[in-house]
Amino acid sequence: MTVAAGALAAGLVALGGSGGERPAASYRPADYSKAADTGMGSQIAAHEGVHGSPAAAKARLALSDQTLGHDVSGHQGAVDWKKAAATGAKFAYVKATEGTGFISGQYRQQYDGAHSAGIIRGAYHFARPDVSGGAAQANYFINNGGGWRKDGKTLPGALDVEYNPYGDACYGMSPAAMTAWIKDFTKTYLARTGRSSLIYTSTSWWQRCTGNNGGFGNTNPLWLARYAPAIGPLPAGWDKQSIWQFANAGSLPGDQNYYNGPIGRVEALARG
């Protein structure tokens, strides 16, 4: 379901109001023409490529204490969750929203379907710093499925910050402005849900668009995107990743991920 952005976005911008927000008049007209197919990592492969064999990463990590999962968006359509669980999925993240004007039409089937199949699930938000403020987008995300419940089966929400599918890689923002935007999103999410959101990004994008800001490592778990046999360097501030998105295709629908620890750690993250 796509929601008309105009008045809704303008009203939600007012929910932000912190130092990282910019006047609503300075935001660009919202374009959600790609939102149904834009998901986590959709821009990573296009900008950074796939290096080596992702299967090598899976084979190596399968021997260590890692937990297999995946993430999906509307691009995957209706997911066969029983098959995903049988294939080894232990956790899954589902795209819920983008900006302040798009809700995934597949969200309910994917989010509830994962839960019904016994997979620990969570929701993520595709950041659009070009259309509205960070606090406004956190509120929109929470109001449309991105919250958290203490049921032991729901993971805290994730903020997907990556290359802009509609134009300039950094959404026309300076590193300082981008950092402030992310801070407004994460602070708002924490205040409303009592949980810190994960931050999904790549090291290259983070270096380029935040100036490699090191201020989130102690507050927000890292979800790293890199399609290669090895993780490589992490963004500043983090000494480990919580999740590694190691491939954009594989045995599970959507992107392939490993949680950095056994299933008990995933369950602990869900419980809070």
Residue 115 CA neighbour count, 13 Å, CB half = 16
Strands (E), the chain: 67-72, 91-98, 102-103, 120-126, 158-160, 198-201, 222-225, 243-247, 255-259
Q: Are 109 and 138 in contact (CB under 8 A)?
A: no
Active-site annotation, residues: 71, 160, 162
Distance from the Cα of residue 259 to its chain's centroid: 14
Strands (E), 13-156: 67-72, 91-98, 102-103, 120-126
Q: Are 229 and 222 in contact (CB under 8 A)?
A: no
Alpha carbon separation from 80 to 19, 86, 96, 114 (Å, rounded): 44, 10, 18, 9
Distance from the Cα of residue 102 to its chain's centroid: 15
